[in-house]
Structure 1
Amino acid sequence: MRLPSLPRVAGFDDAPFAKRPGARVPLVGVVCAGTRFEGLVWGRVRKDGWTATDEVCRLLVGGKFLPQLHLVLLDGIAFGGFNVVDLPRLAGTLGKPCVTVMRRLPDLEAMERALRHLPRPERRLELLRRAGPIHQRGGFTFQVQGAEPEWVAEALKRLTDRGNVPEALRLAHLIGSAVMTGESSKRA
């Protein structure tokens, strides 16, 4: 797969949300060409629910952005706590490479302990396993379905202005926190 000089991407992050069980969690999707903002989609999932994959698909399938995209980025494998994305199903449904981007290697043992306190922990763990191996390439930590890790590392480099957070994910985080709290947060 050839990587264009300005890859188009949709980056998804959840916004601040209430910690009570079943709370509605805003889901922000920012579309960028390279590091330039081009569009926005907005949805909702439930805290620790089961609809994260379906909601990302709903926001993109049939819309104007999906045909333009080269890949889809997620800020981690889950939204709203542990509403875990089925990464292979997402990539298959969208027909695009799908990538979870992490700021650092996750503590998988701590994640498993936390999941044991939620309904259907084995199903959530299976979704985590299905996402594939965690790669560290070019200063980025990620999982990918639908593309080779080297291709993804190069794409992430082109989509990042500075640091190791692609601009679409950085903007999704800033926009979500500003809409929900009245100002953007420091950590993006």
Structure 2
Amino acid sequence: MKHFSNVVGFDDAPFARDHAGPVAVVGAVYAGLRFDGVLMGEIQKDGTDAADVLATLITESRFADHIRLILLQGIALGGFNVVDVFSLHQRTGLPVLVVSRVRPDMEAIKKALLASIPEGKKKWAVIERLGQMEEVADIFVQRVDISMEQARQVIKRFAVHSRIPEPIRAAHLIAGALANGQSRGNP
């Protein structure tokens, strides 16, 4: 079984509900349980650029040759900027594991996307293609090019201080500090 020792976890910075424009995204790079570095960029709130931005952050970083897996805190960053995980996988050649503490209400997401979000139909198609979230190790995941057993091992290995893997937890804390001057809360 493939062993994912070097991973990057991404999360977005918090923003006001009425915010328009760019939203910071942070990637926390880990080598095993050692925090190895940070990737930072911006995506458009409710935009369509998340996969492109994340792929560029990874492939143009000094960590590009070492990262073996991408972890995401949910399928959407910056509001409804749905990460096209299939494009992200294709552009980087890396498996993608989407993680959530709770099972999202897919009908509510679909309704919101189709009713009021630019390119909502295209975004919903990505989510629909990815399929329902699966429960593993007390959280929910969606995955591209990684088996359920591999996902279980990744969660088991990297979920040290909470149910969420450390790379995502660290990205969440850093992104929060960027936006608010200090970190708080759990992803």
Q: What is the TM-score normalised by the length of structure 2? A: 0.93
Equivalent residues in 2 for 1:32-111, closer than 5 Å = 32-111=30-109
Give the match's secondary structure for 1:130: helix
Report the alpha carbon displacement of residue 120 of structure 1 after superposing the two structures with TM.
2.4
CA–CA separation in structure 1 for the residues paired with 2:158 and 2:37: 15
Give the match's secondary structure for 1:68: coil
Which one-letter code corresponds to 2:95 in the other structure?
Answer: P
**Is the contact between residue 22 and residue 49 of structure 1 (CA under 8 Å) also seen in structure 2?**
no
CA–CA separation in structure 1 for the residues paired with 2:183 and 2:144: 31
RMSD, matched Cα: 1.5
**Is the contact between residue 46 and residue 80 of structure 2 (CA under 8 Å) also seen in structure 1?**
yes
Moved runs in structure 1, 4+ residues, more than 6 A? none
Q: Does 1:170 align with 2:169?
A: yes
Q: Does 1:139 align with 2:138?
A: yes
**Is the contact between residue 55 and residue 92 of structure 2 (CA under 8 Å) also seen in structure 1?**
yes
Give the match's secondary structure for 1:66: coil
Which residue in 1 is equivalent to 2:26?
Answer: 28
**Is the contact between residue 26 and residue 43 of structure 1 (CA under 8 Å) also seen in structure 2?**
yes
Q: Which 5+ residue runs of structure 1 have no aligned equivalent?
A: none
Give the match's secondary structure for 2:25: strand
Aligned residues: 186
CA–CA separation in structure 2 for the residues paired with 1:160 and 1:33: 14
CA–CA separation in structure 2 for the residues paired with 1:62 and 1:182: 27
Residues 119-176 of structure 1: CA deviation (Å, up to 9, x unaligned): 2221111011122342112223110001111111111211111321000111111111
Which residue in 2 is equivalent to 1:2?
Answer: 2
Residues 30-55 of structure 1: CA deviation (Å, up to 9, x unaligned): 00123321000100001100100000
CA–CA separation in structure 2 for the residues paired with 1:127 and 1:158: 28
Which one-letter code corresponds to 2:176 in the other structure?
Answer: S
Report the alpha carbon displacement of residue 97 of structure 1 after superposing the two structures with TM.
0.7
Report the alpha carbon displacement of residue 21 of structure 1 after superposing the two structures with TM.
5.8
Which one-letter code corresponds to 1:122 in the other structure?
Answer: K
Give the match's secondary structure for 2:178: helix
Q: Which 5+ residue runs of structure 2 have no aligned equivalent?
A: none
Bigger mean CA offset, 21-30 vs 132-141: 132-141
Which one-letter code corresponds to 1:142 in the other structure?
Answer: V
Which residue in 2 is equivalent to 1:118?
Answer: 117
Identity of aligned residues (%): 37
**Is the contact between residue 73 and residue 168 of structure 2 (CA under 8 Å) also seen in structure 1?**
yes
